Chain A
Amino acid sequence: MKSARIRVLIAVTIAIAAIAGFISIHGSGASNKKDVTLITHDSFVMSPALVKEFDKSTGYTLHLLTAGDAGSMTNKLILTRNAPIADAVFGIDNTLSGEASANHLIAGSLTPTDFGDVCFNYDKLWFTNHHLTPPASVADLTKPAYKSLTVVENPATSSTGLSFLAVTVAKFGTPGWSNYWKQLKTNGVKVDDGWEAAYYTDFSGSSGKGAYPIVLSYATSPADEVRSNGQSQTASILDGCFKQTEYAGVLQGAKNPQGARAVINFLLSHTFQNTFPSTMYMYPITNDGAVPHDWITYAPNPTVTYGDNLDFNHDRAQWLATWAALFG
């Protein structure tokens, strides 16, 4: 029994599908030359007004794409580097920059845009209410008095998490740092995938009113938690911080490299640099960016920072494997 016509029909359908597939694969480059896409981590903030200002001043149309925390974003960029999903990237930091350049993600070099200190914050109100002395150093977090009080970010997915992992490596050495994490685990530390979830959902001192009074965040975060009495509800643990610098860059293979360049210039502009402190709690990289007066009162600089001299690109995988074996 021959069913020639159905076979012809199938062959034609497959041929059409194949042609359509090829057109959509190879024709996608022909999209509007005026479109430019900036991929960022979840904590990036750019107000619609600023997007409009960029579009108006440059003639491009800016699309923002958030892709998880900085670590996941970098991994996504590596997995898709042969056909990049954006033109420019913001939010690769000094823990990930080696990874980015080893994988040739960036055309040219990374441009620093802002910096800050990754520190633990604690909820002062909670500690007062519970008649407990807040921890003074990251070494205190393994003490039984602070059992099940701390939430941190996963170093595999979050750059703040990786920053703290680096602090422990630099402060406690090898194999001391993995013992420290073992003790943290026994002491009931909670691990979230990203800073947003840890800070806004699990931390008791933020708007989320979560269950954990100690969170891995930034030295500047307490300036954002000032209550009506003029006091900040939170403070930082100043011993055990990490100096973090964030970068932007044009992606290798970007469809619109000129547009990407324009985006980076805009991120470095006076207008945008001024928004870093208020929206992302980071210090502007340019000297003329204004730093809020609050920060002097509520966000003192850390006393001891660790880990900025480590070779992240060389050791990151090994640290993460050791860490994953503890928490996997």
Chain B
Amino acid sequence: MLRGRRYLANVMAGFYSKLHAHLWSLPALFFIGLFCYFPLARVISLGFGHHWLGLFWNKQSLSISWFTIWQAALSTTIVLALAIPSAYVFYRVKFAGSRFLSAAITVPFVLPSIVVAIAIKTLWSNGGIFAVIMANVFMNYGFATRVIGVRWQATDSGVEEAAQLDGANGWQRYFWISARELAPAIKNSALLVFLYCTTNFGLMLVLGGGGLHSLETSIYSATSQILDLPRAAIYAFLQCLISLGVLMVLRSGFGQQFSFGYQRNRRALSLSDAPVTIFALLTSLLVVVLPIASLIRHSILAPAGWQLWRANSSLSFGLGHAAMNSTRNAGISLLIALVIGLYVVNSNNSLLLGLFRFPSGISNVAIGLGFLVTFSSGFFPLRSSWLVTPIAQSIVLIPLVIQIVAPAHNSLAHEYSDVAASDGLDGWNFWWWIKRPLLRQSLVTAIGYVVVVSVGEFSAANFLTYGDQATLPTALYQLLNKPGVINYQMALAASVLLIAFTATVMFLVEL
């Protein structure tokens, strides 16, 4: 009895000290709870009305889920087949321009999905499944190449030299020798690419041409076309199941994909590497350069589209207005994502880290729908405010900041915390004077990624922006859907500018 009471007292004491430690996390917990888990719970509860089983287990839901999965699986397979040899070439072989190229091929990964769709559409004007898969490959090829390549760089180069002795086809032998070390990177990149291909809303919406339906486009059409919210909610639930499944398998290795390549461990181009180098260069030419070149060519052939400042009667507001909205939203979401993301990283609290990382796998469409059904009325009518879009976007940007900054931060933490403690620096000074300069590079990267991803975000914005609150991607989507050659030409020109913007930011960050 007494022992029991003492045990209880110990537990309570532990609880209070934990509570105290968590007290400062409350604003962050409140934020993620209110803006992520609460809306998601609202959406899912909406789906589980009295007809839920019928909605869940019918031919339509099953075939949409199946389509979402197989198009992603097929795209992932193609991406891996192209990315593994490319990783070798761009990250282990040194040749003129290799560093520039390895940075250039990752640009598509952060391009606005709507811009990617427009670029692919200039190659396949009718869209269809091939166009969707091509777009998936375009966006994810450079990303997978980087994840695998960075890992490859970290492998022992002694092995490489042993393989080199064998002459021709060296890279394949080398691949099999280092396969054990590469396996986690290949697995992680495969899972992430698969996840990104199941959440390719903008690509599927534009390139599917109304004939192809993934879970995300079905959430959207169930909401905006037939206004069947329970159906939309069931699709969102199925989408969350896929994300959860992938995240469970993924578990570790999150965040490695943005770590910086050490530029050591590269060797000079040798004759035996010629075939694989040619393969990688051709691949990047076909996968990355061709769609962008085609977009630029089409936009140059249609000079009228460059008069972007002109008022457009189809939009009821100018593209300049949309650009202002996008800039404002990016500023707000950057502020939120940096403050909360850095706080979570610094807290090193596994509960917070877990809660904030989870949304990175969740479909933005589901989050958009969640905001729409939760904040349209009632206690917190956020939907009518322009803040709704940047706040919804920050839910997926916070995990991005965490993913980029956490690896660098954690490697610092062990090395310097003892020094700081012995020098008597308090937390804030320690952070500002010691950590911040050392984290500078990863902070710059985080800011660059957040701005670019926020400006290009389409899935959530498409649910939440109405009328004059349109962002650049939603305005481009509206332009695509209006008849008239001039609208299409304007969309082309604006897309070229967005690619230039994204590429500039990425190169500033990376080179």
- B376 and A197 contacting across the interface, CB-CB below 8 Å: no
Contact with A along B473-502 (1 / 0, CB 8 A): 000000001111000000000000000000
- A75 and B385 contacting across the interface, CB-CB below 8 Å: no
Q: Give the Cβ gap from B168 to chain A, nearest Cβ, in Å.
A: 52
Residue B467 is within 8 A (CB to CB) of chain A in the complex: yes
Q: Give the Cβ gap from B272 to chain A, nearest Cβ, in Å.
A: 52
Contact with B along A245-270 (1 / 0, CB 8 A): 00000000000000000000000000
- B24 and A7 contacting across the interface, CB-CB below 8 Å: yes
Q: Give the Cβ gap from A166 to chain B, nearest Cβ, in Å.
A: 16
- A28 and B384 contacting across the interface, CB-CB below 8 Å: yes
| A13-B60 contact in complex given A82-B376, A85-B466, A86-B467, C-beta closer than 8 Å | no
Chain B residues 26 to 62 lying within 8 A of chain A, measured CB to CB, are 27-28, 31, 60
- B27 and A324 contacting across the interface, CB-CB below 8 Å: no
Q: Give the Cβ gap from A54 to chain B, nearest Cβ, in Å.
A: 15
| Neighbour of A65 across the interface among B420, B431, B467, CB < 8 A | B467
| Neighbour of B335 across the interface among A13, A191, A317, A325, CB < 8 A | A13
| A11-B376 contact in complex given A24-B386, A156-B226, C-beta closer than 8 Å | no
Contact with B along A295-328 (1 / 0, CB 8 A): 0000000000000000000000100110011001
Residue B307 is within 8 A (CB to CB) of chain A in the complex: no
Chain B residues 410 to 432 lying within 8 A of chain A, measured CB to CB, are 417, 420-421, 426-428, 430-431
Given pairs A75-B226, A79-B227, A208-B483, 14 additional interface contacts (CB within 8 A): A3-B426, A9-B339, A14-B31, A24-B385, A42-B482, A63-B468, A68-B481, A76-B224, A79-B223, A83-B377, A86-B467, A154-B225, A192-B210, A324-B60
| Neighbour of A5 across the interface among B372, B377, B428, CB < 8 A | B428
Contact with A along B268-306 (1 / 0, CB 8 A): 000000000000000000000000000000000000000
| Neighbour of A196 across the interface among B60, B210, B335, B482, CB < 8 A | B482
- A78 and B227 contacting across the interface, CB-CB below 8 Å: yes
Interface centre among B225, B228, B386 (most CB of A within 10 A): B225
Contact with A along B378-417 (1 / 0, CB 8 A): 0001111111000100000000000000000000000001
Residue A200 is within 8 A (CB to CB) of chain B in the complex: yes
Across the two chains, which residue of chain A brings its CB closest to B23? Answer: A7
Contact with B along A43-64 (1 / 0, CB 8 A): 0000000000000000000011
- A13 and B381 contacting across the interface, CB-CB below 8 Å: no
Residue B240 is within 8 A (CB to CB) of chain A in the complex: no
The interface on chain B, measured as residues whose beta carbon lies within 8 A of the other chain's beta carbons, has a size of: 49
The interface on chain A, measured as residues whose beta carbon lies within 8 A of the other chain's beta carbons, has a size of: 57
- A193 and B427 contacting across the interface, CB-CB below 8 Å: no
Chain A residues 1 to 29 lying within 8 A of chain B, measured CB to CB, are 1-7, 9-11, 13-14, 17, 20-21, 24-25, 28
Q: For the complex, give the distance between the alpha carbons of A191 and B208 in Å.
A: 13
Across the two chains, which residue of chain A brings its CB closest to B426? Answer: A2
What residues on B are CB-neighbors of A79 within 8 Å? 223-224, 227, 372, 376
What residues on B are CB-neighbors of A6 within 8 Å? 343, 346, 427-428, 431
Chain B residues 57 to 99 lying within 8 A of chain A, measured CB to CB, are 60
Residue A135 is within 8 A (CB to CB) of chain B in the complex: no
Name A's B-contacting residues (CB within 8 A): 1-7, 9-11, 13-14, 17, 20-21, 24-25, 28, 37, 39, 42, 63-68, 71-72, 75-76, 78-80, 82-83, 85-86, 154, 156-157, 191-194, 196-197, 199-201, 208, 317, 320-321, 324-325, 328
Main secondary structure on B side of the interface with A: helix
- B210 and A191 contacting across the interface, CB-CB below 8 Å: yes
Contact with A along B304-334 (1 / 0, CB 8 A): 0000000000111000000000000000000
Q: Give the Cβ gap from A310 to chain B, nearest Cβ, in Å.
A: 18
Q: For the complex, give the distance between the alpha carbons of A288 and B151 in Å.
A: 78
- A14 and B225 contacting across the interface, CB-CB below 8 Å: no
Q: For the complex, give the distance between the alpha carbons of A214 and B223 in Å.
A: 30
Q: Give the Cβ gap from A27 to chain B, nearest Cβ, in Å.
A: 9
Q: For the complex, give the distance between the alpha carbons of A25 and B380 in Å.
A: 9
Residue B123 is within 8 A (CB to CB) of chain A in the complex: no
What residues on B are CB-neighbors of A72 within 8 Å? 224-225
What residues on A are CB-neighbors of B382 within 8 Å? 21, 25
| Neighbour of B427 across the interface among A4, A21, A75, CB < 8 A | A4
- A156 and B428 contacting across the interface, CB-CB below 8 Å: no
A-B contact pairs, 8 of them (CB 8 A): A1-B421, A4-B427, A5-B428, A20-B387, A67-B467, A83-B381, A192-B210, A317-B228
What residues on A are CB-neighbors of B428 within 8 Å? 3-6
- A156 and B225 contacting across the interface, CB-CB below 8 Å: yes
What residues on A are CB-neighbors of B466 within 8 Å? 67, 76, 80, 85
- A65 and B387 contacting across the interface, CB-CB below 8 Å: no
- A154 and B467 contacting across the interface, CB-CB below 8 Å: no
Q: For the complex, give the distance between the alpha carbons of A325 and B213 in Å.
A: 12
Q: Give the Cβ gap from A139 to chain B, nearest Cβ, in Å.
A: 26
Contact with A along B339-371 (1 / 0, CB 8 A): 110010010000000000000000000000000
What residues on B are CB-neighbors of A78 within 8 Å? 227
Q: For the complex, give the distance between the alpha carbons of A20 and B388 in Å.
A: 12
Ranked 8 nearest A-B pairs via Cβ: A3-B427, A83-B384, A82-B377, A5-B428, A200-B483, A156-B225, A25-B385, A196-B483
- A66 and B316 contacting across the interface, CB-CB below 8 Å: yes
Q: Give the Cβ gap from A81 to chain B, nearest Cβ, in Å.
A: 8
- B385 and A193 contacting across the interface, CB-CB below 8 Å: no
Q: Give the Cβ gap from A104 to chain B, nearest Cβ, in Å.
A: 13
Interface centre among B223, B315, B420, B426 (most CB of A within 10 A): B426
What residues on B are CB-neighbors of A5 within 8 Å? 426-428
Residue B250 is within 8 A (CB to CB) of chain A in the complex: no
Across the two chains, which residue of chain B brings its CB closest to A72? Answer: B224
- B481 and A193 contacting across the interface, CB-CB below 8 Å: yes
Q: For the complex, give the distance between the alpha carbons of A178 and B263 in Å.
A: 64
| Neighbour of A1 across the interface among B28, B31, B383, B417, CB < 8 A | B417
What residues on B are CB-neighbors of A208 within 8 Å? 483
- A65 and B27 contacting across the interface, CB-CB below 8 Å: no
What residues on A are CB-neighbors of B346 within 8 Å? 3, 6
Interface centre among A2, A14, A208, A320 (most CB of B within 10 A): A14
Residue B336 is within 8 A (CB to CB) of chain A in the complex: yes
Q: For the complex, give the distance between the alpha carbons of A69 and B482 in Å.
A: 11
What residues on B are CB-neighbors of A157 within 8 Å? 225
Residue B259 is within 8 A (CB to CB) of chain A in the complex: no
Contact with A along B195-225 (1 / 0, CB 8 A): 0000000000000001001000000010111
